[in-house]
Amino acid sequence: MAKLTTKLVVTIGAAAIFFSGFLFHQIYNYTQLKVKELVQQQASLVLELDLAVREYVATKIRPDMFQNEGSEQIIPKTISTSCVAWSVFDDIQNEFPDLVIKLSTENPRNLKNKAGPEERELIRKFTDNPGMKRWQGEITLDGKPYLAIVSPLRMQQSCLLCHGDPADAPAVLIDRYGSVAGFHMPVDKIAGLDTVAIPMARIIEMFRDQFLSATAVGIVGLLGFLLSIALIVKGLIINRLKHIVSNLQDAAGHPDYHTIQHIDIKGDDEIAEIATGYNALTKKLSGLYVSLEDQVAQRTADLEEKNIELKNEVANRVSIQASLENREATLNAIFRAVPTGIGMLSDRVFMQVNEKLCSMLGYSPEELLGRSARMLYVDEEEYQRVGRTKYEQIKKHGTGSVETVWSCKDGRLIDVLLSSTPVVQTDLAKGVTFTALDITSQKLAAEEKKYLEQKLIRSQKMEALGLLAGGVAHDLNNVLSGIVSYPELILMELPKDSPLYKSIGVIQESGQKAEAIVQDLLTLARRGVTRTEVLNLNTVLKSYINSPEHENIHRNFPEIEVVVRYDAALLNISGSSVHLRKTIMNLVINAAEAIDERGKIEITTENRYVDRPIKGYEEVVAGDYIVLSVRDNGIGIAEADLQHIFEPFYTKKIMGRSGTGLGMSVVWGTVQDHSGYINITSAPEKGTIFELFFPVSRDKEQREALKIELNDYLGNNEQILIVDDDATQRQIGSAMLRKLGYRVACVSGGEEAVEYLKNHSVSLVILDMIMDPGIDGLETYRRIVQIRPGQKTLIASGFSESDRLKEAQHLGAGEYVKKPYSLERIGMAVKNGLRK
């Protein structure tokens, strides 16, 4: 109840305080207004007195003085309105020191009457407004605020004697003030201001005293009011409510509703009505309590009878439940033991699942039960297809089986064989039992087998073609030696103005082109990479982009844009720049010919880490790679053609119009020789992407060799032995070496070379690796070092470095020289071999 008292007092008090605050505010404003009005009345009275004094002097005293005494005998203090007014108000100011009575003028005779800035502004305001008689308001005098009333002093005709022309003024006035100050003032000019000012501090003090008195009275009244309200509330409301609450608390803790006491409250107000209602309620509760006791007794008897019946029914059900539990335990044991996913669906919602199905999918039973089987399918279309297929099979055969793909909880996709049968054969609505067998590994194994078979067939086919190309290339190399090497020797002898010089140059150029074709065949045979070096694919790509071959592509395909993107941080690889450059050229030509007219080719290089094998055209194993990508937006490659894209002469283009038919075969051979991989992404009318993966080399890139001058590889009459089964090769080699200043001997086979060296000493042996009939180069070298230990030897061959060649070098043989010979190639090899 104390809380209610507090709330009422606080509420009423807040309202009273609000009203009092409003009242105090109004009193404050009213008191302030009245104080200002009182002060203004006082100031107005003083001003009227001042003006009356001036008027009396001007109209009464001054005329009489002029008439009786004459202008020369007059004393200024007796005729000057200002002087008389000062004299009167000096006494007043002695009594009221705060009061300011002042004459202000812009050209005063007495400096204390000099107008300040605010007074000058008022003079201008009265001048601009001739009808303006008074001004009142706040003004600053000597840095202090005053409430002032100001009246203008206009020049009258009667004032001109003292304020007009100095020549007409009394001599005594001129002697006292001079002839400048206060003169030359026309009639009606504002000569100055009469100001009566009362300090604001005095006004504020008066107002504060009045307001504090009123406030003190108000606060005392408010406190008395609040105390009265508190006493009234307590007597009329709180005490009576406490009596009611006390009776309610007694009733709540009373054990017998028959003996609850009534509340005795006098009066006819709302609190008395509460007490009357409470008394009526307790009377009714007493009657209901008696009736309820009778009903409880009857219900208790009925419940005891029903309880006996339920006990008998429970005993029967326990027996049935035990039988069902035994059967269910047997089924659950089978359900758990089967190593296949099993479940039951009702309206394609999981109703039951076994542990094998949950472990296969990665879900707990709680995550599956009650949810639609749609959650396991990759899309709605597949979900509907499986449902239709199983329904049709079950309707026809009573069971259904279908393969599909399910999505596991971790995102994995697994291949599943589903077999289903209805719980009740005649009613599918009763649900369907199914088994789910994970066949992902079986399908992957089948796909892997198919992939490996295709890869084996492709490798065998390319190997067979390579063997054929290698044999052809070897024979062509011997035939081309004369076409490539002899023109170089002849051109050295012919003057440039000879009529044969140009023709022989054409023969040399044709031989070099034929040599390039042979090199393609060797690459196809995987015998063409003659030398590997550490290089950067960006350098090779830039070399190709700036080459005549690329310029030729621009001329032939002017509507095709070639965009090149270099990886600035590209790592190095180990390989042959010549073969890699030709590979890039073949890919660009292939891309250009796949574009009908206008199109785009993008060439990019990048570092790429393969963290798991890529199964594309070839399987790219995990590791660090440099990837060369050539993308076009041409006609694309059909799936059937992809299997044959790298076979020699397999093309959809007209043969003879573009290249030799070996371009893509060279690409495949070069990548294989560099231990790399190829991946192809293509679709008809959408373009093609060739990606070449080359293993990264951590070694530094080698600098490009400078062009070598002829004098750097001239001989000094050293004895050279050429061992070759081909007479043309012997003739070409001996001619070149003699041209370079060597003595040369030639033999046609390994046995003949061994016999020659038994009786002759030579500075260097140039040994062909493949000789038929008889022993080959490796066996010949073994026999030579037996009779001539440390014999300097070079290996010559039309093929690239083979295992037998490397074995010969391991035994001590020197540099490998590739056929057909050029003067620089054989000259530098011999020079380096002799220095060894």
Say whether pLDDT at 651 is over 70: no
CA distance 824 to 666: 26
Say whether pLDDT at 797 is over 60: yes
CA distance 32 to 204: 9
CB atoms near residue 15 (< 10 Å): 10
Q: Which residues contact residue 442 at a Cβ distance below 8 angstroms, ignoring those fewer than 6 apart?
A: 415
Asked if residue 575 lies in contact with residue 628, where contact means CB atoms within 8 angstroms, the answer is no
Strand-pair category, 599-610 with 560-565 = parallel
Say whether pLDDT at 737 is over 80: yes
Q: Using only C-alpha atoms, what is the Rg of the chain?
A: 63
Q: Give the pLDDT of residue 381.
A: 92
Architecture of domain 710-835: 3-Layer(aba) Sandwich (3.40)
Pick 807 or 305 by higher pLDDT: 807
CA angle in degrees (0–180, nearest 5) for 277-281-285? 175
pLDDT, average across residues 762-776 = 91
Confidence grade of residue 371 (pLDDT, cut at 50, 70, 90)? very high
Pick 691 or 83 by higher pLDDT: 691
Say whether pLDDT at 238 is over 90: no
Confidence grade of residue 605 (pLDDT, cut at 50, 70, 90)? very high
User: What secondary structure does DSSP assign to 477-526, as a single string?
Assistant: HHHHHHHHHHHHHHHHHS-TTSTTHHHHHHHHHHHHHHHHHHHHHHHHTT
Q: Give the pLDDT of residue 656.
A: 40
pLDDT, average across residues 203-213 = 71
Confidence grade of residue 654 (pLDDT, cut at 50, 70, 90)? very low
pLDDT, average across residues 555-562 = 91
């000012």: which residue's tokens? Answer: 197
Say whether pLDDT at 756 is over 90: yes
pLDDT, average across residues 257-269 = 67
Pick 391 or 747 by higher pLDDT: 747
Say whether pLDDT at 690 is over 90: yes
Domain boundaries, the chain: 2-207, 254-331, 338-438, 447-525, 529-695, 710-835
CA distance 260 to 256: 7
| CATH code for the part of the protein at 529-695 | 3.30.565.10
**Does the pTM of the predicted model rise above 0.85?**
no
Say whether pLDDT at 529 is over 50: no
pLDDT, average across residues 811-828 = 86
Mean pLDDT of all residues in the chain? 78
Asked if residue 4 lies in contact with residue 240, where contact means CB atoms within 8 angstroms, the answer is no
Pick 202 or 499 by higher pLDDT: 499
Pick 141 or 387 by higher pLDDT: 387
What are the tens digits of pLDDT across the range 71-104? 555 555 555 666 666 666 666 666 667 677 777 7
Confidence grade of residue 528 (pLDDT, cut at 50, 70, 90)? very low
CATH class of the domain at 338-438: alpha beta
Asked if residue 374 lies in contact with residue 363, where contact means CB atoms within 8 angstroms, the answer is no
